[in-house]
Amino acid sequence: MRIDIITVLPEMLEGFVNESILARAQKKGLAEIHLHNLRDYTSDKWRRVDDYPYGGFAGMVMQCEPIDRAISALKAERDYDDVIYVTPDGERFDQKIANGMSLQKNLIILCGHYKGIDQRIREHLITHEISVGDYVLTGGELAAACIADAVVRLVPGVISDDQSALSDCFQDDLLAAPIYTRPAEYKGWRVPDILLSGNEAKIKQWEMDQAMERTKRLRPDLLKK
How high does pLDDT run on average in the chain? 94
Rounded distance between C-alpha atoms, residue 179 and residue 82, angstroms: 36
Q: What is the pLDDT of residues 35-86, one digit of tens each?
A: 999 999 998 889 999 999 999 999 999 999 999 999 999 999 999 999 999 9
Rounded distance between C-alpha atoms, residue 149 and residue 13, angstroms: 12
Quick one: what percent of the chain has pLDDT higher than 70? 97
pLDDT at 166: 61
Reply yes or no on whether the pLDDT at 169 is more than 80. no
| CA-based end-to-end distance of the chain | 30
The residue-averaged pLDDT of 90-95 equals 96
Bigger pLDDT: 43 or 122?
Answer: 122
